[in-house]
């Protein structure tokens, strides 16, 4: 066990060397409690048009379905909190996570290096890395790995890093030393629930995606519903309201990941420039951003909706 403990420490040290802000490890288990909650969430239709959330149920609650013989989930956090936000306070807003390069590529590159580091000692280890693109309950595994707790707004909250963090996982068939899950420190606070302009957090720890601004501005593919008019508070891609009001984010430190730095023009864009955004400018400013997910037509739809 001493060898397992020391190698687990080496994995965490290497994760920090690669730029991750935190790393924790949990044993692979069938997520019985979470499976029940997920099934109820799906049955209630709270996922809206995100049909992929209703699929691959067995894989979501059992990592062994994704990596045969899986024994350990290595979870990592990467801070994306920016040093600066958009200058024009009246301009349309995009979520901070989309300021820089698409995080999927950035984190997958780092996780791949972490896997290669493990294989230098255990060449035959079987593993896969994931970042928000496969049926993995990343917030659950991060919480089980001691990296934070899932707050009332359903985001993972870290005592050291707040909630403006990306989560990634490396699932491997190697036994390691495991961390203790974090406690829930939300207490009696309901700031996130009270601040949501659309009432998407229907009760503590339960999100109705069909009411969420992020859902409407990114996932929703049809004409935006008229009953939501005037409720988006200038958000046109994602929404940070429930995170901005969270007390655990009051002392967030800016990230030091160069790939997350915004395009120089993005922070300077005025309200008028946003509403007159051409497709050419869109392609230049958001060339490597997650904003490309909604396409130019989707962003224009969102802009027209809040005009």
How high is the pLDDT of residue 59? 86
Q: How many helices (H) and strands (E) does the chain have?
A: 11, 10
pLDDT tens string for the chain (307 positions)? 558 999 999 999 999 999 999 999 999 999 988 889 888 988 888 888 887 777 778 888 889 899 999 999 999 999 999 999 889 999 999 999 999 999 999 999 999 999 999 999 999 999 999 998 788 999 999 999 999 999 999 999 999 999 999 999 999 999 999 999 999 999 999 999 999 999 999 999 999 999 999 999 999 999 999 999 999 999 999 999 999 999 999 999 999 999 999 998 999 999 999 999 999 999 999 999 999 999 999 999 999 999 9
**Measuring CA to CA, which residue among 40, 109, 135, 93 is closest to residue 259?**
109
Q: At what angle do helices 2-17 and 103-121 cross, to 10 degrees?
A: 150
pTM as predicted? 0.94
In the numeric block, the tokens 């997350």 are attached to: 260
The upper half-sphere exposure of residue 204, i.e. CA atoms within 13 Å in the direction of its Cβ, equals 10
pLDDT at 52: 75
Task: Please confirm, yes or no, whether 22 is among the known catalytic residues.
Answer: no
pLDDT for res 89: 92
Q: Which residue in this structure is represented by tokens 């995009």?
A: 94
Q: What is the pLDDT of residue 45?
A: 87
CB 108 within 8 A of CB 129: yes
pLDDT of res. 2: 57
For position 160, what pLDDT does the model report?
A: 95
Indicate which residue of 88, 132, 173, 184 is catalytic.
Answer: 132
pLDDT of residue 41: 87
Other C-beta atoms closer than 10 Å to the C-beta of 211 total: 19
pLDDT of residue 1: 55
What dihedral do alpha carbons 192, 185, 169, 293 form, nearest 10°?
A: 10
Compute the C-alpha angle 246/289/160, nearest 5°: 30
């Amino acid at each position: 066990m001493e060898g397992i403990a020391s190698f687990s420490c080496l994995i965490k040290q290497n994760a920090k060397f690669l730029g991750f802000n935190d790393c924790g490890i949990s044993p692979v288990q069938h997520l019985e409690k979470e499976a029940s909650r997920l099934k109820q969430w799906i049955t209630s239709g709270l996922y809206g048009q995100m049909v992929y959330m209703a699929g691959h149920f067995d894989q979501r609650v059992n990592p062994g379905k994704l990596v045969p013989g899986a024994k350990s989930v290595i979870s990592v956090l990467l801070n994306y909190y920016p040093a600066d936000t958009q200058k024009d306070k009246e301009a349309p807003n995009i979520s901070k996570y989309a300021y820089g390069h698409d995080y999927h590529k950035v984190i997958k590159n780092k996780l791949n290096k972490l896997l290669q580091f493990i294989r230098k000692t255990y060449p035959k280890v079987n593993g896969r890395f994931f970042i928000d693109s496969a049926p993995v309950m990343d917030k659950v595994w991060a919480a089980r790995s001691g990296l934070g707790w899932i707050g009332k707004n359903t985001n993972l909250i870290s005592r050291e890093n707040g909630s403006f963090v990306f989560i990634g996982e490396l699932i491997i068939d190697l036994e390691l030393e495991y961390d203790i899950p974090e406690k829930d420190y939300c207490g009696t606070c309901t700031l996130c629930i009270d601040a949501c302009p659309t009432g998407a957090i229907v009760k503590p720890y339960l999100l109705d995606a069909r009411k969420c601004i992020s859902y409407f501005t990114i996932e929703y593919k049809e004409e935006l519903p008229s009953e939501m008019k005037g409720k988006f508070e200038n958000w046109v891609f994602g929404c940070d309201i429930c995170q901005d009001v969270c007390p655990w984010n009051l002392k967030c430190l800016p990230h030091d990941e160069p790939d997350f730095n915004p395009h120089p023009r993005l922070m300077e864009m005025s309200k008028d420039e946003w509403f007159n955004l051409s497709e050419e400018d869109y392609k230049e400013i958001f060339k490597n951003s997650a904003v490309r997910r909604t396409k130019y037509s989707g962003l224009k739809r969102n802009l027209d909706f809040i005009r």
